[in-house]
Amino acid sequence: MSDRLIVTTSADAFARGLDYLYGIRSLAPDPEMIDLIHDSKNREVICTWIGRKIDAVNQRLHQILQDCHNCFHTWEQPNLQIFAAPFARSFGIDAICNLETEPITILVDVGRVLPEDWLLLVLHEYAHAHAGSPGHHLQFARSLTHLCLGLEITPPIVQPGQEDCLRFYPPCPLIPDPLAFWRGEGQEW
Ligand SMILES: [Zn+2]
């Protein structure tokens, strides 16, 4: 499986976590989307947690990705990799699909929503990958609707020309302090 980004052989959890963050930065459309490396207050505890737990979290994301793949024939499935990433608050995003990497990369801030809602973030980004565009237009709406139907999630009702309202579809409650998850204060992994 290609979904491993930890490049160091270090046994030290902090070093592994920091390596992971640098790896994620290289896959983001803008490396500063992952700004924790500059955060002297939170960096140590979060990198250490990442070094210990990120494989299990990414394994779960990989299963969700597979659930999305299963909604399509093999030849319709985009070539994708997926990783958890703590996003800088200033960017105001929960997940992103970077179509410029090969394979296409989905990054998900798993601290922003409850684990049972991760699917909602992943399927939105999967629809971008399937449509081959970051825009919220007709082709995106078709991909998104197909995924919703396959995953038994209420599909969107879109009036022609109103596809931009899909920017936040499916709706999903946000967690006020996303870094709590990354500090290891959520469920045990
Ligand atoms: Zn979108």
DSSP 123-174: HHHHHHHHHTSSS-SHHHHHHHHHHHHHTT-PPP---TT-GGGGGG-S--PP
pLDDT value for 187: 83
List Cα–Cα distances, 151 to 70, 147, 155, 166, in angstroms: 9, 6, 10, 17
3 confidence band (pLDDT: 50, 70, 90):
low
136 Cα to the center of ligand 1, angstroms: 6
Instruction: State mean pLDDT over 58-83.
Output: 97
pLDDT value for 7: 59
170 Cα to the center of ligand 1, angstroms: 10
* pLDDT tens per residue across span 110-134: 999 999 999 999 999 999 999 999 9
6 confidence band (pLDDT: 50, 70, 90):
low
pLDDT value for 188: 87
* pLDDT tens per residue across span 92-104: 999 999 999 999 9
189 Cα to the center of ligand 1, angstroms: 28
pLDDT value for 164: 86
Note the pTM of the prediction, 2 decimals: 0.94
CA distance 118 to 58: 11
How far is residue 43 CA from its own chain's centroid? Answer: 20
75 Cα to the center of ligand 1, angstroms: 23
What domains appear along the chain, each with residue ranges and CATH number? 55-85+93-182 (3.30.2010)
Using the predicted structure, report yes or no on whether residue 1 has a pLDDT greater than 50: no
**Local structure of residue 91 (DSSP, 8 states):** G
* pLDDT tens per residue across span 121-169: 999 999 999 999 999 999 999 999 999 999 999 999 988 888 889 999 9
Instruction: State mean pLDDT over 40-57.
Output: 94
Using the predicted structure, report yes or no on whether residue 8 has a pLDDT greater than 70: no
Higher pLDDT, residue 4 or 109: 109
104 Cα to the center of ligand 1, angstroms: 15
Query: What does the mean pLDDT of the chain come to?
Result: 93
Using the predicted structure, report yes or no on whether residue 108 has a pLDDT greater than 90: yes
36 Cα to the center of ligand 1, angstroms: 24
**Sequence-distant (≥ 6) Cβ neighbours of residue 129 within 8 angstroms:** 78, 80, 97, 99, 104, 106
